[in-house]
Amino acid sequence: MTWAALQFGYAARLSAWVTRVTGRRRFAGTLLWAFVFMVATTLLTLPWTIYTEFVREHQYGMSTQTFAAWLGDWAKGFAIGTPLGALAIAGIMAGVRRSPTRWWIYAGGFTVVVMAFALMLAPVLIEPLFNKYTPMADSPLRTAILKVAQGNGVPVTNVMVVDASRQTTRVSANVAGFGPTARVALNDNLLNTHDDAGTLSVMGHETGHYVLNHSTSLLVGFGVLIVIGFATVQAAVPGLIRRYPNWGVAGITDPAAVAVAMIVLSLFFFALTPVTNSLTRFHEAQADIFGVNASRAPDGFARSAIRLGQYRKLEPTPFEEMVFFDHPSGRTRIHMAMQWKAAHLGEAGVQ
- Which pLDDT does position 143 carry in this prediction? 93
Q: Which of 174, 193, 211 is the last residue of a domain?
A: 211
Q: How does the average pLDDT of the chain come out, rounded?
A: 92
Does 65 score more than 80 pLDDT? yes
Q: Are residues 182 and 34 in the same domain?
A: no
Look at residue 183 and tell me if it is in a domain: yes
* Cα gap 296→304, rounded to integer Å: 14
Average pLDDT over residues 165-188: 85
Q: Are residues 149 and 9 in the same domain?
A: no
Q: Are residues 229 and 109 in the same domain?
A: yes
CB under 8 Å to 115, separation ≥6 — which residues? 219, 222, 223
- What percent of the chain shows pLDDT beyond 90? 73
Average pLDDT over residues 38-56: 96
Look at residue 333 and tell me if it is in a domain: no
Look at residue 309 and tell me if it is in a domain: no
Does 348 score more than 80 pLDDT? no
Residue 1 confidence class, pLDDT cut points 50, 70, 90: confident
CA atoms within 13 A on the CB side of 137: 3
Average pLDDT over residues 50-69: 95
Q: Which of 277, 296, 315 is the last residue of a domain?
A: 277
Q: Are residues 194 and 135 in the same domain?
A: yes
Q: Are residues 8 and 96 in the same domain?
A: yes
124 versus 44: which is more confidently predicted?
44
23 versus 341: which is more confidently predicted?
341
CATH number at residue 151: 3.30.2010.10
- Which pLDDT does position 319 carry in this prediction? 93
The predicted-structure confidence for 311-333, as pLDDT tens digits, reads as follows 888 999 999 999 999 999 999 99
- Which pLDDT does position 83 carry in this prediction? 95
In one-letter notation, the amino acid at residue 11 is A
Q: Are residues 191 and 225 in the same domain?
A: no
- Which pLDDT does position 179 carry in this prediction? 67
Q: Are residues 181 and 151 in the same domain?
A: yes
Count of H-run helices and E-run strands, the chain: 16, 4
The domain of 257 spans 2-128+215-277
Q: Cα-flanking dihedrals φ and ψ of residue 346, to 5°?
A: 85, -10
* Cα gap 238→231, rounded to integer Å: 12
Look at residue 106 and tell me if it is in a domain: yes
Q: Are residues 105 and 228 in the same domain?
A: yes
Q: Which of 194, 211, 228 is the last residue of a domain?
A: 211
Average pLDDT over residues 341-345: 90
Domain count, the chain: 2
Average pLDDT over residues 164-170: 93
Q: Are residues 120 and 148 in the same domain?
A: no
Dihedral angle sign, alpha carbons of residues 179, 218, 202, 164: positive
* Cα gap 203→144, rounded to integer Å: 10
Average pLDDT over residues 19-45: 93
Q: Are residues 159 and 14 in the same domain?
A: no
Look at residue 187 and tell me if it is in a domain: yes
Does 172 score more than 70 pLDDT? yes
- What percent of the chain shows pLDDT beyond 70? 99
Q: Are residues 192 and 46 in the same domain?
A: no
Look at residue 327 and tell me if it is in a domain: no
Average pLDDT over residues 176-198: 85
Look at residue 349 and tell me if it is in a domain: no
Strand, helix or coil for residue 57? helix
Look at residue 303 and tell me if it is in a domain: no
Dump the DSSP string for 198-257. HHHHHHHHHHHHHHTTHHHHHHHHHHHHHHHHHHHHHHHHHHHHHH-GGG----TTSTTH
Partners of 191 in the β-ladder:
none
Q: Are residues 155 and 266 in the same domain?
A: no
